[in-house]
Amino acid sequence: MTSPQPPTTAGDLRGAGLRVTAARVALLETVRAGDHLGVDALTSGVRDRVGHVSVQAVYDALHALTAAGLVRRIEPPGSPARYEGRVGDNHHHLVCRECAAVVDVDCAVGHAPCLTASDDRGFAIDEAEVIYWGLCPSCSTARKA
């Protein structure tokens, strides 16, 4: 008896009902290997893997991957959109005010959606987006020096 194989990037795309292309595989792998990357960095990563791809093709693929739930888009105020492969757990983010570094942080309290609205106004809440702002360790140390 063989053990089950871990899901592949192509398998994830198929499972989400998306057509498997070299550019989509490269993009999803780049997102998953990256750290809250913007479109320019993702485009560069895809080009490193498969050669030329247009920025518009990257935007189109990101839209499809995000809609399929394979990629999460975050957009801290005053910052361009960034993409990450950690999906489905409703985690939050820490953002450095100096260098704009973004890191994951698990839920603030309890189970998803992590926070209970004081008045849900009739909404069926299923997600909370929290961004903590401050200085990362490097910028904090530099500021003290």
Question: pLDDT tens digits, residue range 85-122?
Answer: 999 887 889 999 999 999 999 876 656 656 677 788 99
Of residues 145 and 121, more confidence is placed in 121
* Residue 95 backbone class (left: φ over 0; alpha: ψ -120 to 50; beta: rest): beta
State how far the alpha carbon of 16 is from the alpha carbons of 35, 46, 89, 105, in Å: 23, 20, 18, 26
Continuous segment of H or E residues that includes residue 141? helix 137-144
Residue 49 has what pLDDT? 96
Q: Where are the strands (E) in 4-91, listed by range?
A: 72-74, 82-84
Question: In this structure, which topology does domain 89-144 adopt according to CATH?
Answer: Dna Ligase; domain 1 (3.30.1490)
Is the Cβ–Cβ distance between 92 and 134 less than 8 Å? no
How many CB atoms lie under 10 A from the CB of residue 125?
12
Is the Cβ–Cβ distance between 143 and 97 less than 8 Å? no
Q: Where in the chain is the domain with CATH 1.10.10.10?
A: 9-82
How many CB atoms lie under 10 A from the CB of residue 127?
9
47 pLDDT band, cuts 50/70/90, is: very high
Q: Looking at domain 9-82, which CATH architecture does it have?
A: Orthogonal Bundle (1.10)
